[in-house]
Amino acid sequence: MKKKYRREMDYVDAVISEIERKLERTISDLDDVRMIMNNLKTIREQEVDMELKIDPIENRFDGMWRKLQTYQSGEELFGLPTTDYPDLAQIRKELNLLQKLYKLYNDRVNSYYDIPWGEVNIEEINNELMEFQNRCRKLPKGLKEWPAFFALKKTIDGFNDMCPLLELMANKAMKPRHWQRIMDSLNHIFEFESKGFCLKNILEAPLLAHKEDIEDICISAIKEKDIEARLRQVTNEWSLHELTFLTFNNRGELLLRGDTTAETIGQLEDSLMFLGSLPSNRYNAPFKKQIQQCVHDLSNTNEILERWLLVQNMWVYLEAVFVGGDIDKQLPKEAKRFSKIDKSWVVSCCVGDDMLKQLLPHFVETWLTQLLQTSKASLHSIIRSAFSMINDQKFQLLVFLDKMPAQVGLLGLQMIRTRDAKLALLQARHDKKVMLDTNNKFLELLNTLIDQTTRDLTKIERTKFETLITIHVHQRDIFDILKLNTEFRNKPERIKDSPGITRGDGVIRPGSTAF
């Protein structure tokens, strides 16, 4: 068997040498490219073939080793000298080492390829690789001289070289735009949004050949995330900021509070300084317009508040001059002009008094009209959805009642009763059982509602189902009267209790009332 194994290894060496000789040829046309692809395919197939042959060889050797132990036991039993087979023992040792090597390879390296990209933990892989290297160093000295060991060590070292890149690429700062830049740089497509996207899909690309480009893209993603965080911090800080006002001479809250406003101006200056370096940052491209707009808004706000305080201080001073004392008698024109400007420049921002209501009385009516129209449109939209659901072939009552508001659910039940009762009345002359079947259908609906009350419901849900049951029992009693052929049309007092009628124009008429 040892000779056969050596023959197989010699055959592999010969095949590899022949393939290397073919691959050294200069590529001049398409046929050369095809030849190279076929040779690479041959290498892959030979590698799989050799790997598959390890277990059969080991099984055959185990059989021979058991026979050796049996023969040696027989020799001891008959008192014969025990025959040793050093070659067989050496082969057993080499096979054990080979099995350790492949088990080590399969337990670690191969398992990395199937890790989903979203679950890749580079730190954990680094720790496993360190443990892997320690186990490799502890392998027997004879094993370290095998070509297979050097191939395995090369694979581990390649993983170590790619781990820093993989750690950068797995950073949460990576956005689709960064992946697109990496794909353009590698000329390789990553389906990173696919559920089956794994680490092996990343390793298929020539990462180490474009290491610097990938590092630059990943670092830019981290820098952009920092810029985005700083910009969001400033935006959130000023989105809910409020100004404080003070009352002035019983005329309302007209004055900006000086101390808090000065503090606000200081905070604005700090925010502008905080954002000062962003416009010139080389990584600001995705947020350039947003940064410019934010800086523009904060600068304008700062300038407006400073001018506001300046005008306010001058106005307070002039108001004290012209309102109090005899200055209005000495300068009547100036006093009249100030009084006119004073009244026209005061902006009322609340309705604490009746001045705003007197000046703009139509605002409330306009708002209420818009509110009514919007509410009606919203309600009609929900009712249309309910009408579509009850006419669906896959209609489920409990799902419908759970999805719709309680009043619309009640209206939906009335639509169902109206539809079924109308069809039953139209078919009653030709089908004697239609009224009974429809009544049984209503009874089944009632039992479904009653069954819900036996469950663990909230107070609101229990009230809803009890109301639906009450209305449904009342309407079912009316249908029983119709079924018994009572003179229903001659009793006007029951018309208002009859099922509603849905007309083609979308008007709902419960009894004699239109909606």
Q: Please give the pLDDT value at position 380.
A: 92
Same domain, 417 and 339: no
pLDDT recorded at residue 50: 42
**Domain contains 209:** no
Q: Which of 103, 134, 167 is a domain's end point?
A: 167
Are 156 and 17 found together in one domain? yes
Q: Is residue 282 part of a domain?
A: yes
265 and 142 co-located in one domain: no
As a whole number of angstroms, the distance between CA 389 and CA 381 comes to: 13
In this predicted structure, what is the pLDDT of residue 382?
92
Q: Is 252 left (phi over 0), alpha (psi -120 to 50) or beta?
A: left
Domain assignment present for residue 200? The answer is no
Going by the DSSP 8-state scheme, the letter that residue 27 receives in this structure is P
Q: What's residue 27's pLDDT?
A: 52
64 neighbors 1 (Cβ within 8 angstroms):
yes
β-pair partners for 509? 501
For residue 402, the surrounding DSSP H or E stretch is helix 397-403
CB 387 within 8 A of CB 500: no
Confirm whether 228 is domain-assigned. Answer: no
Cα dihedral 38, 43, 46, 52 sign: negative
- Residues 330 and 424 placed together within one structural domain of the fold: no
Distance CA 410, CA 466 (A): 11
Does residue 144 sit in the same domain as residue 27? yes
CA angle 21, 22, 26 (to 5 degrees): 105
pLDDT of residue 259: 85
26 shares its domain with 146: yes
Considering the domain architecture, whether residues 337 and 410 belong to the same structural domain is answered as no
Q: What is the CATH number of the domain that holds 336?
A: 1.20.140.100
pLDDT at residue 378, as a whole number: 92
Burial class (CB in 10 A: 0-12, 13-18, 19+), 479: buried
Check whether residue 334 and residue 385 sit in a common domain. Answer: no
CA angle 68, 73, 74 (to 5 degrees): 100
* Cα–Cα distance measured from residue 489 to residue 482, given in angstroms and rounded to the nearest whole number: 10
- CA atoms within a 13 Å half-sphere pointing along the CA-CB vector of 49: 10
User: Is residue 432 located within the same domain as residue 487?
Assistant: yes
pLDDT at 11: 63
pLDDT tens-digit profile, the chain (515 residues):
445 545 655 665 666 666 666 656 655 555 655 565 565 555 545 544 444 344 555 566 566 667 666 766 766 776 777 766 666 666 666 667 666 666 666 666 677 777 888 788 888 888 877 777 777 777 667 666 666 667 667 777 777 788 888 888 888 888 888 888 888 888 888 887 788 788 888 888 888 888 888 889 999 999 888 888 888 888 888 887 888 888 877 777 778 888 888 888 888 888 888 887 787 788 888 888 888 888 888 899 999 899 988 888 888 888 877 776 677 777 888 888 887 777 776 654 444 455 555 656 666 778 888 899 999 999 999 999 999 888 888 888 888 888 889 889 899 888 988 888 888 888 888 887 888 888 888 888 888 889 888 888 888 888 988 988 988 888 888 887 777 764 344 444 444 455 454 444 545 454 444 44
Instruction: Identify the domain containing residue 321 by its residue range.
Output: 241-345
Segment (H or E) for 306:
helix 288-323
Give the integer Cα–Cα distance in Å for 13 and 435: 91
Map tokens 């900021």 to a residue: 241
CB 220 within 8 A of CB 283: yes
Q: Is residue 333 part of a domain?
A: yes
Residue 130 in any domain: the answer is yes
For residues 393 and 479, what is the distance between their CA atoms, to the nearest angstrom? 24
Q: In whole angstroms, what is the distance from residue 382 CA to residue 410 CA?
A: 13
Among 149, 167, 185, residue at a domain's last position: 167
Domain-embedded: residue 172: no
Query: Is the domain of 318 the same as that of 416?
Result: no
Q: Which pLDDT value is given to residue 494?
A: 46
Is the distance from CB of 295 to CB of 279 less than 8 angstroms? yes
Inside any domain, residue 360:
no
Predicted local confidence at residue 36, as pLDDT? 55
Check if the beta carbon of residue 235 is closer than 8 Å to that of residue 294.
yes
- What's 486's domain CATH number? 1.20.58.1120
CA separation for the pair 55, 350 (Å, rounded)? 88
What is the SS3 assignment for 253? strand
* Claim to verify: residue 323 and residue 388 sit in the same structural domain: no
| Phi, psi angles (nearest 5°) of residue 245 | -120, 155
12 and 117 housed in the same domain:
yes
Domain termination residue (choose one: 345, 365, 400) = 345
Which residue in the block uniquely carries the two structure tokens 């420049």?
345
Q: How many domains does the chain divide into?
A: 3
